[in-house]
Amino acid sequence: PGISVTAAAPEQATPYLRPLLRFAAAHVPARKHKETPLYILCTAGMRLLPERQQAAILDDLVTNVPLEFDFLFSKSHAEVISGKQEGVYSWIGINFVLGRFDHEDEEDAVVTVALRDQRKSLVRKRTVGILDMGGASLQIAYEVPDSGAISSPQQQEEAAKSLLAEFNLGCDVQHTGHMYRVYVNTFLGFGGNFARQRYEEHVLNQTYEHNRLHSQETGLSPNMPFLDPCLPVGLEDTVVRGGKTLYMRGQGDWLTCAKLLQPLLTGSNGSHASLVETYKAPIDFSNSEFYGFSEFFYCTEDVLRLGGQYSAPTFTSAAQEYCSQRWEVLTQRFRGGLYSAHADQHRLKYQCFKSAWMYQVLHEGFQFPLDYPSLRTAQLVYDREVQWTLGAILYKTRFLPLRDLRQESIRQAHASWLRLSFVYNHYLFFACILVVALAIVLYLLRLRRIHRRQLRSAQHTLLWLDKVVVPVGQGSGP
């Protein structure tokens, strides 16, 4: 369930994590333990605890984990991260798996990025934004390439600053090619299940108020149910809140359901902040791409079988058709195996509502155009389930590879220099021998030619003497 369960007994935090740490220790070579960083990052469960209890749990980990394990673990390696950090890590993980940080591939779509304190703009591979709707919350994260896009009225300046994260994923702080500016926001209460609860409370209160004003008894008994357009036709459900009970029966009207959900987006029911009015950094819908996870995928795939490339008209048509079916027909299809293996009774029951909620969040809340072509709903990316933890470890260790690469490059350069020197010296030695040998041969050949020339010269001299020198005793007569 999470380490927050040790809040009442923080001394149990290390024992609680011991099985996981032992698993890690068994799979990391023992000789590498001292140089393997260990990070313990806590999320939503810990964020809900008072700071005093958070600190007690973290202190236990920082004190006792190093006593049992030799991993590289310091006080700064254990922390409670914010929802903003979690969103950034999710964004990093997805884009890493998709290869969007590799700027060498020129075939993919690109975007022009205006970096702060940089005169020239940077053209690099376009990153993807993420939409993630869980049971209780909704999150969005995407890059804001243009620094001018965050300019907003004075009352929104602080909100803009708190929702934007700027970070460097380069090998060092001087490497600006991987400087990113990302908008991240988490909307509590806007998840699929929580939105259904808010809707039920809204309908219950409105129905009771309507009954009081008009002396009616709608929804007070199974014989006079409230006709819920967000449930399949004929499905019966009961809502109990604060001593009040509301009986419902599905009407299966998807368009009416979507309209009834608008007050939950704007916050006009007074229970939550407005998704519509909250500051959101501008999105260039003509040059952007998004992935939708969790409920975005379940809503499109589990029963509608439309997961993947999202098309608003196709999705709307399929959602309306599903909602209009009688509950008996849907359960029969379910038993016949016509839906995804992940679909269950809960999915069948609330698919109509959740599909309308997803549609409203996407197109009314975040203002995605109805003809937006670049949204893909997915559970896996390249057959991998990508978690925020991947992005966290990439961010936390982003400078470590540089040190290792530099040391390795120095070692390789030194080794290459030694090999090159060794080979070069050998070649130089043999070359010198060859040059000396050639010099000796040439010298001997030259001596031989000189010797031959001298012999020929001597022979010519003897012949000449034979012709011009008179022998003694020979000469003219008396």
Binding positions = 135-139
Can you say which residues are annotated as belonging to the binding site for ATP?
Answer: 135-139
Burial 17-33 (b: 16+ CB within 10 A, else e): beeebeeebeebeeeee
What three-state secondary structure class fits 371? coil
d(C-alpha 364, C-alpha 274), whole Å: 11
d(C-alpha 144, C-alpha 128), whole Å: 11
Annotated catalytic, 86? yes
> Would you give the DSSP letter of residue 366?
S
Side chain identity at residue 310, one-letter code: Y
d(C-alpha 115, C-alpha 100), whole Å: 18
Nearest to 164 by CA among 279, 81, 42: 279
Catalytic residue among 51, 79, 86, 328: 86
d(C-alpha 220, C-alpha 244), whole Å: 9
d(C-alpha 75, C-alpha 57), whole Å: 12
Nearest to 254 by CA among 168, 352, 338: 352
With 0-12 / 13-18 / 19 or more C-beta atoms within 10 angstroms meaning exposed / middle / buried, residue 434 is exposed
Q: Following DSSP, what letter does each residue of 171-200 receive, concatenated?
A: SSTT-GGGEEEEEEEEEET-SHHHHHHHHH
d(C-alpha 380, C-alpha 397), whole Å: 24
8 Å CB contact between 203 and 226: yes
d(C-alpha 191, C-alpha 475), whole Å: 143
d(C-alpha 277, C-alpha 198), whole Å: 19
Distances (CA, A) of 243 to 204, 239, 429: 11, 10, 100
8 Å CB contact between 163 and 144: no
d(C-alpha 195, C-alpha 207), whole Å: 18
H-run or E-run covering 78: strand 78-80
d(C-alpha 59, C-alpha 311), whole Å: 50
Give the dihedral sign, CA 324/325/330/331: positive
Give me the torsion for CA of 342, 348, 352, 353, rounded to 10°.
-80
d(C-alpha 182, C-alpha 281), whole Å: 9
Residues involved in catalysis: 86
